């Protein structure tokens, strides 16, 4: 299912909603954070680089959005203690959590598996899979306080059909799809937490440029242009979706 990029809801769509976004310092994470805040959400900005998070924070405040929260975290080194501190901070500040966007990811090597560097493989799996697991399990009690929560994992076309030379990144996205499906099945009966994955598609980001260095970026949609798809997921329409692998474009 492809999500609508022409979705133009009311500016109060996400009023009083609290949404955590990983990789919020730039690219898609930054664009989605600013878009959700513009529609009333209190966003928790998680990322590795404080300076980038502060820039997103400032842009949200200048635009008149609800005051965001910043939580620096290096997902490569994230531990259960780190995610527990995050949950405690969100609980103290907001009392609950209404959504999580697992956006942060690294590309790793573009190489055949036979020649893949083992350390690079482990780092990709830690950031793209293990960190999402740690964050999700730690934050589920907070999400359970919401009457209508979302957990959105970020997928990829190469995580649905394998492709040569995409190595750990592709495998990590297959794992992400599996984690989404298992969690969706486990939360189905309670019905309060909706779980899904989104494939952003070809978007003008630094990761895309690294994967396709010869590509003309001006022919791609910007992160801001695909942000309405995320509004759709975190708004009321997303409450009708569960366990689905979705496409932003």
Annotated active-site positions, please?
169
User: Is-contact 36 14, C-beta < 8 A?
Assistant: yes
Could you give the residue ranges of the DSSP H alpha helices within the chain? 27-38, 50-62, 80-94, 118-125, 131-143, 167-187, 206-211, 223-234
Which tokens belong to 232?
A: 């759709």
Where on the phi/psi map is residue 40: left (φ > 0), alpha (ψ -120 to 50), or beta? left
Neighbours of 97 (CB within 10 A): 26
Mention every residue, 6+ apart, whose C-beta is less than 8 A from residue 100: 19, 20, 21, 22, 135, 136, 139, 143, 150, 151, 152
**Phi then psi dihedrals of residue 85, to 5 deg:** -65, -40
Q: Which residues have CB under 8 Å from 219's CB, separation 6+?
A: none
Contact 165, 110 (CB under 8 A): yes
Structure tokens at 16: 């009083």
């Amino acid at each position: 299912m492809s999500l609508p990029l022409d979705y133009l809801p009311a500016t109060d769509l996400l009023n009083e909603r609290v949404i955590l976004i990983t990789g919020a310092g730039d690219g898609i994470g930054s664009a989605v954070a600013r878009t959700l805040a513009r529609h009333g959400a209190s966003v928790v900005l998680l990322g590795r680089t404080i300076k980038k998070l502060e820039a997103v924070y400032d842009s949200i405040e200048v635009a008149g959005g609800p005051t965001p929260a910043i939580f620096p975290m290096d997902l490569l080194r994230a531990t259960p203690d780190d995610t527990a501190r995050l949950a405690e901070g969100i609980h103290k500040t907001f009392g609950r959590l209404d959504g999580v966007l697992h956006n942060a990811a690294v590309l790793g090597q573009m190489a055949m598996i036979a020649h893949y560097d083992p350390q690079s493989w482990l780092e990709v799996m830690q950031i793209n899979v293990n960190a999402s697991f740690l964050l999700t399990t730690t934050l589920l009690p907070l999400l359970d306080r919401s009457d209508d929560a979302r957990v959105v994992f970020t997928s990829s076309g190469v995580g649905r059909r394998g492709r040569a030379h995409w190595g750990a990144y592709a495998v990590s996205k297959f794992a992400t799809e599996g984690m989404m499906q298992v969690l969706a099945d486990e939360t189905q009966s309670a019905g309060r937490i909706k779980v899904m994955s989104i494939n952003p598609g070809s978007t003008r980001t630094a990761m895309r440029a690294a994967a396709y260095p010869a590509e003309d970026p001006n022919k791609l949609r910007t992160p801001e242009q695909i942000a309405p798809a995320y509004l759709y997921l975190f708004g009321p329409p997303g409450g009708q979706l569960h366990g689905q692998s979705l496409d932003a474009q």
